[in-house]
């Protein structure tokens, strides 16, 4: 009797501890990005079967598991390249003197290995010093990257009430506004330099409220948020009363994709609504959605939008799985605590994680590597130096192109559909700890 009671007590305690851990994990999993949160995703693990024997479930490629071609010899990504010479090219020098794409715009032959693409992106893109250091480094290897601009960074602080986030009061923002006129104009200088060098401008929307608000927004709310972000880019001189300031070299028409604050609003249920909003704004891609399964794989078309999923990868240096984004690395490392003394250690782990992702993709399915960063000084500036070091050591490597989302989309759309499908069906890499 007494023993039974102990057993029951033990079970209750074990349950309580397990529940506590779950609550803790879910608490620590929706957290800050820029200054605000990023959802730390818990994605499904693929079935640990021999990928070559996995049945092909690909009906809707966007929602099903990737298909059958794994690291078998039929995998176009890992088999011998037939020839390295494609023929067609669609590179046209832009009329405004902007640098053209750095990608070889060629059609692959069936079975030919694609180039390895790496897409660096920076949410917010408001820090002049850091932005310029990435521009300087990218220029040494003719590389490109993508800035996801926060629209509010074009609005001077004294014009804050010109912005009203859905369900918010005028002038409310979780990431502040553009500062004074000098700061805004410095940003235009930086962004024009970025644009001229062939880098891409996307959007990180505006108020960055997070905490689930973006998940609750309706289609009309997101439309309003995006309309305003576009307006701040297009009309900044009028809005800020700076008629003599320099003109931005790009407009909202050049914005084709983005990352939602805290990766909100892109649940399976809400995605079709978001897709409608993006299409209404002539946007073609998104890179906010947590991947539906582990590892690095090629982008998919989802409701008519190219989705570059935020990958959930294995990292030997973290000794586990992690969503490959700076804030999520931080949470994985120490729960997101500010411990600047540990910066050298964390930088090393992050850089090694990027290197591992690259090695796995380069020697595997060649899926684009996403390096998703903010320009913050989190944990004693743990992240930007790691991304910069990775950019320096990797972007000039053989068959490797550091580039933009739009250029990768142009490359994918140039391919024969069957060739592209083979790439998309290839088994993910870095999807679990190596076995054997």
> Minimal distance in Å, beta carbon 150 to Zn ion?
8
Q: Which part of the chain contacts Zn ion (CB under 5 A), choosing from 256-264, 294-302, 306-314, 340-348? A: 256-264
For Zn ion, which residue of 123, 240, 307, 326 counts as binding (CB under 5 A)? 123
Whose Cβ is closer to Zn ion: residue 275's or residue 375's? 375
Q: Which residue is nearest to Zn ion (CB)?
A: 33
For Zn ion, which residue of 30, 31, 32, 34 counts as binding (CB under 5 A)? 34
Q: Which two tokens stand for residue 47?
A: 């079935």
**Region 131-150 residues binding Zn ion, contact defined as CB under 5 A:** none
For Zn ion, which residue of 30, 31, 33, 152 counts as binding (CB under 5 A)? 33
> Minimal distance in Å, beta carbon 331 to Zn ion?
14
Q: Of 317, 314, 320, whose CA–CA distance to 432 is shortest?
A: 314
User: Should residue 286 be labelled a site residue for Zn ion when binding is judged by CB under 5 A?
Assistant: no
Whose Cβ is closer to Zn ion: residue 76's or residue 126's? 126
> Minimal distance in Å, beta carbon 419 to Zn ion?
35
> Minimal distance in Å, beta carbon 263 to Zn ion?
9
Whose Cβ is closer to Zn ion: residue 66's or residue 261's? 261
- Residue 33 to residue 305: CA distance in whole angstroms: 24
| Total number of residues that touch Zn ion (CB under 5 A) | 4
> Minimal distance in Å, beta carbon 254 to Zn ion?
21
Cα 84 to Cα 100, 104, 360, 395, 412, distances in angstroms? 22, 11, 21, 19, 17
Q: Which two tokens stand for residue 181?
A: 């006129």
- Residue 103 to residue 84: CA distance in whole angstroms: 14
> Minimal distance in Å, beta carbon 123 to Zn ion?
4
Q: Which part of the chain contacts Zn ion (CB under 5 A), choosing from 27-35, 62-70, 100-108, 362-370? A: 27-35
Q: Which residues in this chain contact Zn ion in the complex, by CB under 5 A?
A: 33-34, 123, 261
């Amino acid at each position: 009797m007494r023993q039974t009671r102990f057993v029951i007590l033990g079970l209750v305690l074990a349950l309580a501890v397990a529940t506590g851990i779950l609550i803790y994990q879910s608490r620590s999993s929706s957290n800050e990005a820029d200054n605000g949160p990023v959802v730390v995703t818990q994605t499904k693990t693929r079935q640990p079967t021999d990928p070559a024997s996995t049945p092909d479930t690909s009906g809707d490629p966007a929602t099903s598991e990737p298909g059958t071609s794994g690291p078998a010899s039929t995998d176009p990504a890992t088999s011998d390249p037939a020839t390295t010479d494609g023929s067609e090219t669609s590179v046209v020098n832009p009329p405004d003197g902007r640098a053209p794409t750095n990608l070889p715009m060629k059609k692959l032959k069936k079975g030919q290995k694609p180039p390895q693409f790496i897409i660096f992106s920076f949410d917010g893109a408001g820090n002049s010093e850091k932005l310029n250091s990435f521009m300087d480094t990218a220029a040494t290897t003719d590389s490109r990257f993508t800035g996801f601009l926060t629209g509010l960074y074009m609005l001077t602080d004294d014009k804050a009430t010109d912005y009203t986030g859905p369900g918010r009061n005028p002038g409310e923002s979780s990431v502040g506004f553009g500062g004074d006129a000098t700061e805004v104009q410095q940003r235009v200088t930086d962004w024009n330099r970025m644009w001229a060098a062939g880098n891409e401008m996307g959007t990180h929307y505006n108020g960055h409220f997070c905490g689930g608000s973006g998940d609750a927004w309706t289609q009309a709310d997101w439309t309003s948020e995006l309309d305003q972000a576009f307006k701040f880019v297009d009309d900044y001189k009028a809005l800020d009363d700076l008629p003599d300031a320099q003109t931005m070299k790009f407009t909202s028409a050049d914005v084709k994709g983005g990352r939602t604050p805290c990766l909100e609003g892109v649940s399976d249920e809400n995605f079709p609504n978001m897709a409608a909003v993006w299409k209404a704004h002539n946007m073609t891609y998104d890179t906010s959605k947590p991947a539906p399964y582990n590892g690095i794989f090629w982008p998919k078309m989802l409701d008519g939008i190219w989705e570059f999923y935020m990958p959930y990868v294995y990292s030997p240096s973290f000794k586990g799985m992690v969503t490959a984004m700076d804030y999520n690395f931080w949470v994985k490392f120490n729960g997101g605590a500010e411990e600047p003394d540990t910066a050298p250690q964390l930088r090393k782990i992050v850089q090694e994680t990027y290197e591992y992702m690259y090695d796995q993709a380069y020697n595997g399915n060649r899926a684009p590597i996403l390096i998703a960063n903010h320009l913050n000084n989190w944990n004693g500036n743990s992240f930007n130096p790691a991304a910069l070091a990775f950019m320096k050591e990797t972007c000039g490597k053989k068959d490797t192109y550091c580039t933009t989302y739009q250029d990768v989309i142009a490359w994918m759309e140039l391919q024969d559909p069957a060739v592209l499908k083979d790439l998309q069906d290839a088994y993910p890499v870095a999807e679990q700890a190596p076995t054997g």
